[in-house]
Structure 1
């Protein structure tokens, strides 16, 4: 084989989608591209060590949730004081050991029993938007036969704790409290369960009792109302005839002889009567607008978290507008390669597009990752796996180079309109035309609406 042939073959092998170059996963950092027995053994040892660490962590967490640091000191003092006291003959140490034992047994008594509360935690709205106020309600009912003393209730809200003061309740009385749920960040915020804390006066033990179920508040990314997809770029593509011929459509092309399997509804009877041969109509296939919105989750394409959050909002705005217009739309994000994968995963993950709320639910939980596919690889997969694309929006950040945008646009057929939305708060907003695509640069979400409105006006 010639050297040119060998170099061509090696070039194809090096660009095959089974390499681990740039994988960025834990396995790649441990063993690189090695796949032998030794490499698998190293990965297995690391995974086993992590599993053992998680098991010990769970056990320690359960004990730590009941015994306080002071309680651990008292428990440790019992054998030390008793053993030292009896060995050295020190009555003081013996007294300290037995006293610590008595305190520990008395502290356990404070953990017994359960108050007859009935609590109901509610969220008036299970969805919210970033920055929008959201509230939760708690209803407490005394279902016992005696008056209950006041208590302090704890409600976990995300990573924080909301403390509510519960007054004393007589038999059959009900008390209701409302509190706010922070929505500064996009995501799913767990609310609850409501719990009470019981413990001894010295603080040796602390028992948490749960009284309600855990609810979830889905915080959607912020979106803006963009111009209808019936205007501008997409309006020019909708209904335009193509050179592809089909047996049924709107744009008439010509007549041809009937062939086995043709639909008899399209037989042209006048021409059939003139020629004596069955003739059927042939049509030019018209274009239906199929929008694709591709969001990169790779940290390679974004310089900051603010850029990524802006890109998520852009994706939601475009997808919601297309869904409400009744268009055929696909919203996809990068697939994230697992931490211990041997090879990078070359795929995209579709999001729900049958309802606007479902799409925003999916966008609420997406996160950028070093193991996600960059935009240039996403474009090739989307082009190969999504037939009939008419308009493709590629959403990325400021770290995506112009050469990468051109390579992404080259993956699509020539008749597909490509719009790259670059989210860069530090750049001047505007739209420029490159070879094969339009590049729209925005720094704020409102600029997306203004830019699409200008393109609709020009069209």
Structure 2
């Protein structure tokens, strides 16, 4: 509850008039001062009344690509059966406010207000809560309260169509190179026995031939085959818009992977958690795994530039976990100091593509183990991606 400038003047003037009236013997001044203080007291009682409002908030849709329409709908209901509500209301939408007309909201009635949610930029837009201000008719005092909850709108980066998607080189159980179903455990190689290995994995025929205990080593072919590493270091992008292009390129690759029913993983250089959670994978019909791209795009919407340099830690995680066989590195830094460590992941990741956004002239033409795509924006990245001769 906050007094207005008029309210402060009326209250202060009333006190002065009462004091002057009693001091100099002018009862008329004291009466005027008493009326002013009475008006202030009535304003306090009027503003202190808490309206019985219920707010229902609907956002449709709550996940959109950048530039697509999104509508916020508010239904405000006056729960009082006797008193009409005369209020000033504003709803918060991101960093802006939207006026909500609640003048003379009659008892047991509601009003519906719809307005567009801004989706011009990638990010997470929070809408709400509804801020309601109640002022007395004289404008002496105002009380602001919030009603209803909040909602969030994920504005995903725009994706560009990609025609070519690497299928990976996972080995099937019969030794052929193909795209095996997710969830299989596949024989990979033989290695020497170490303490702790299960004896049921010992390959006795090879052990008898060479005179050493040899055990079978298996790989889990359910691991994602396509890994997108998004560089979110603030120092890697001389122009902030280049990071937006990198996010659009990441979305394009992920959407194309889902279209081809390929598992994918999104990693951010600044992420503290270890990769491989795979919360974006769900079970489809007949127990088959399918990929849900929505959580990945949500992470892209939430991605922000961070200070510091954690690229080395991210590369170490990739080397340790080996999430797939195709790595897509998206950055704004084309320096050899950043690209060379990524190229060192080859042949652990047989296919490595680096998309560098910004000035192509500052990017080295060749980096060992990496196919470098130096492009100015996401649309050019999509064209260069489809222009690769083979994966």
TM-score normalised per structure 2: 0.72
Conservation of the 8 A alpha-carbon contact between 1:432 and 1:438 = no
Tell me what 1:367 maps to: 304
Q: Indicate the SS of the match to 2:119.
A: coil
Deviation of 1:357 (Å):
0.8
Which residue of 1 is the match for residue 180 of structure 2? Answer: none
**CA distance change for structure 1 residues 433 and 143 in 2, over 3 Å: closer, same or farther?**
same
Give distance in 2, aligned partners of 1:98 and 1:405: 79
Quote the residue 2:265 is aligned against: 330
- Counterpart position of 2:193: none
Residues 375-394 of structure 1 aligned to structure 2 (within 5 Å): 375=311, 377-387=312-322, 389-394=324-329
Give the structure 2 partner of residue 196 of structure 1: 132
Q: Deviations over 1:266-292 (max 9, x none)?
A: 999xxxxxxxxxxx9989989877322
Return closer, same or farther for 1:172/1:131 CA change in 2, 3 Å cut-off.
same
1:11 aligned partner: none
Equivalent pair of 2:339/2:367 in contact (CA under 8 Å): no
Shift of 1:172: 4.9
Asked if residue 187 in structure 1 is aligned to residue 120 in structure 2, the reply is no
Show structure 1 runs of 4+ deviating over 6 A: 73-79, 82-86, 88-100, 250-253, 280-289, 428-431
Native 8 Å contact 2:225 2:263 kept in 1? yes
Residues 301-326 of structure 1 show CA distances to partners (whole Å, capped at 9, x for unaligned) of 00122011111222222233334544
Distance 1:170 1:387, change over 3 A: closer
DSSP 3-state at the match of 2:48:
coil
Q: What's the counterpart of residue 300 of structure 1?
A: 235
In structure 1, how many angstroms separate the alpha carbons of the residues matched to 2:220 and 2:116? 52
Structure 1 residues 337-416: aligned runs within 5 Å: 347=272, 350=275, 352-354=279-281, 355-370=292-307, 372-375=308-311, 377-387=312-322, 389-397=324-332, 399-410=333-344, 412-416=345-349
CA distance, structure 2, for counterparts of residue 90 and residue 444 of structure 1? 82
Map 1:149-164 onto structure 2 (within 5 A).
151-164=87-100
Q: Which residue of 2 aligns with 1:21?
A: none
Query: Which residue of 350, 374, 385 corresponds with 1:441?
Result: 374
SS at match of 1:384: helix
What TM-score does the superposition give when structure 1 sets the normalisation length?
Answer: 0.63
**DSSP-derived class of the 2:366 partner:** strand
Which runs of no fewer than 5 residues in structure 2 stay unpaired?
A: 177-184, 191-196, 206-213, 282-291
- Residue 208 of structure 1 is matched in structure 2 by 144
Distance 1:124 1:296, change over 3 A: same
Structure 1 residue 169: deviation in Å?
Answer: 5.5
Structure 1 gap ranges (5+): 1-62, 243-247, 254-258, 269-279, 337-346
**Conserved? CA contact 2:336–2:364, under 8 Å:** no
* Structure 1 residues 161 and 282: alpha-carbon distance in aligned structure 2, compared to 1, 3 A threshold: closer
Distance 1:349 1:188, change over 3 A: farther
Looking at structure 2, the residues matched to 260 and 114 of structure 1 have their Cα atoms a distance apart, in angstroms, of 70
* Cα offset, 1:108, TM superposition: 0.7
Relative to total residues, which structure has the larger strand share, 1 or 2?
A: 2
Partner of 2:352: 418
Size of the aligned set, in residue pairs, is 356
Over 3 Å counting, the alpha-carbon distance change for 1:202 and 1:429 in structure 2 is: farther
Let me know the Cα RMSD of the aligned residues.
Answer: 4.5
